[in-house]
A and B are shown apart, each in its own frame.
Chain A
């Protein structure tokens, strides 16, 4: 699988990453090399093999009571935000 500059642009857009013109051929090269490298997986016989998503099979997700366990830390958490106003996070205008 060889990726073109255009492919890299599309992937970068999906991943919401700005990639400069100069970087495009560099990523096209290294991503193509990585895809070629992982291509060897296609040779493995996996018919009837169940996909493994988690290393501890059979472990069930524990449930807890649906009740409030946290106190309000809004001000502390928002101390790490670049732009807040009146307890709200600010982003560029979304609706015209």
Chain B
């Protein structure tokens, strides 16, 4: 059976046409996970019993003719989403004993849509990383080349979908954590507008930047998943109360006349040659389809990485103060007093990168340094936001590469945090401005996938999905899969 090579949308159609049952589909993916996960390390937890229960329930729905566009399709959730009754570790020793007492809104809504839970995917600890190497559960391997990283922080979700161990998976994106692994594993990685999807039950890293999204095989799949995830949630006060468009219905909007801004700053020094070539070829494709390419400059965008590495650690140091060894998570043994309980619990429970960011954040928020670092970064964030706003007066979408290079080797950047941080140089801007953005596979460089990034104004998800879909009708990069996982 080669069901796993089908997109989620195609599997859902097959299920509704009763060509196979959800139980059959689910067993097929569980077997693939059994075989491949020991080498990839994409899953932290596999939930076969829960999956079979979900599948039987979906089959009953389908039998009644009540199946929707995702009913009976298996899914994997990034281990950052609270999943009732299931280990929710966030890739950390701190939460390696945490059984979530409730479902995140994203988990709840996708379950209501009839998806089948295969398990929880590996990730950088508390989503802090760009290579999935900071996970307490060990690095994830890139299915295209096992010596390389899958990207991060949603590296387990990316590897699982790329190796077709799941038709699609959820992810979160604070500085590129959906788009970057999407690009490095040949997937369509979609980060919605800040506030489009509820963050309730999604373990917080940097609350003004975090947003949930999806790693999928195509824009069509992403449209269905996004429609099921998005929408107002009174349990997240930043989740916007605006209607969710029918994303799937809008996919066929033509690109003719689309004004595409080419971000000049994304094509300078540091962009690997093959990646640049693949992205330029994709842009030529849009032009040939009738889109207008316009050169634009966002002069403050090169400051997005330093801005992010003040703002994100500041928010992280505040958010992670809740891990105190009292109410949940790891607790040190035999604490002498309360301070010792906090310090040893946190010293033991957090890994090196998380500690580094908590300390960076503590420092930039501390008395005497707040204005020079934190306030300054918030002002530069305004400048970057203004750059985007100005650009969107002239163009409908912005395009450029998702990453400067294809996937790098495991261990290549672990010694120098700055080198690792620069990997997100093209993705962070969209988070600072809260914009929706998608990475679309646009080529292979020495057998490794690279991505084209499309960024749009707030709440232009429909426009981004239509542009990605138009490109995917003309190309087959998104249908390529790693030769080792056929």
The answer for the CA separation of A89 and B328 in the assembled complex, in Å, is 10
Choose one: B331, B335, B385; the contact of A55 (CB below 8 Å): B385
A11–B362 touching, CB < 8 Å: yes
The answer for the CA separation of A73 and B341 in the assembled complex, in Å, is 26
For residue A68, CB closer than 8 A to chain B, the reply is no
For residue A82, CB closer than 8 A to chain B, the reply is yes
List B residues 52-67 near A (Cβ within 8 Å): none
B101–A51 touching, CB < 8 Å: no
Q: Which chain A residues lie closer than 8 Å to B433 at the CB level?
A: 55
For residue B319, CB closer than 8 A to chain A, the reply is no
For residue A86, CB closer than 8 A to chain B, the reply is no
Choose one: B102, B328, B350; the contact of A81 (CB below 8 Å): B328
The answer for the CA separation of A83 and B330 in the assembled complex, in Å, is 11
B347–A35 touching, CB < 8 Å: no
For residue B306, CB closer than 8 A to chain A, the reply is yes
Residues of A within 8 A of B (CB): 8, 11-20, 27, 30-31, 33-35, 37-42, 44, 46, 49-56, 59, 61-62, 64, 73, 76-77, 79-83, 89, 91-94
- The prevalent SS among residues of B at the interface is helix
Choose one: B306, B337, B339; the contact of A40 (CB below 8 Å): B306
A94 vs chain B, min Cβ distance (A): 6
- The prevalent SS among residues of A at the interface is loop
Q: Which chain B residues lie closer than 8 Å to A77 at the CB level?
A: 101, 327-328
Q: Which chain B residues lie closer than 8 Å to A38 at the CB level?
A: 306, 309-310, 364, 373, 377
B-side interface residues, number (CB < 8 Å)? 74
The answer for the CA separation of A13 and B343 in the assembled complex, in Å, is 8
The answer for the CA separation of A93 and B341 in the assembled complex, in Å, is 11
A selection of 23 A-B contacts at a CB cut-off of 8 Å is: A12-B343, A15-B317, A15-B362, A16-B346, A17-B346, A17-B350, A17-B355, A17-B358, A19-B355, A20-B347, A27-B359, A33-B417, A40-B303, A40-B306, A41-B303, A44-B376, A50-B382, A55-B432, A56-B194, A59-B195, A77-B327, A91-B338, A94-B338
